[in-house]
A and B are shown apart, each in its own frame.
Chain A
Amino acid sequence: QVQLQESGPRLVKPSETLSLTCTVSGGSISSSYWSWIRQPPGKGLEWIGYVYYTGKTDYNPSLTTRVTITVDMSKNQFSLKLNSVTAADTAVYYCARGSGRFYFWGQGALVTVSS
């Protein structure tokens, strides 16, 4: 069974870069697409983007100028960087397997943007 675990700073200052890593266990990262999805407190879900093991990416058009998703096959990890953050980027960030049909999810990481 594939398991995913988010890690990274939980507090980020405004205008700085949010960085999270998702570690995949129980399966190879070269077998699928890998996505990031976020959920502001008390609100709905927003797809951020995905990466394929080849490095191919697709991003939410509303975030594309600020987001980068990369994959590290040697560590079986993929990562999210979101720059120029504001309070509106405060959310639980989930990593998930797939490019649209998300069977496996991480537990989520609450990242707060605050000075």
Chain B
Amino acid sequence: DAMVIQNPRYQVTQFGKPVTLSCSQTLNHNVMYWYQQKSSQAPKLLFHYYDKDFNNEADTPDNFQSRRPNTSFCFLDIRSPGLGDAAMYLCATSRDKGQGPDTQYFGPGTRLTVL
């Protein structure tokens, strides 16, 4: 089945220790998104890639970076995690963007705990 995969599902890191979350997709979608979602809150878009074109949201902290080495994979790097970065991180994909409404398909998420 075509799908969006995130690893790991649960990640524990220490305050200030860099961490990388990964996302892969077999849908062959052009667009990949990274969201941060805290409990009982709306998902907050951090950035997205339209193919190789990187789009950073204005209020995404510099502490968060992303890489998309190819169509299938996208990584979220948190350079120096703080306690406030503990959240669920959701990866999503959509077939296209800007040419009509496209449903976003989500991976299962990675729950990040910062100690």
A associates with B: no
Residues in A lying within 8 Å of B, measured CB to CB = none
Residues in B lying within 8 Å of A, measured CB to CB = none
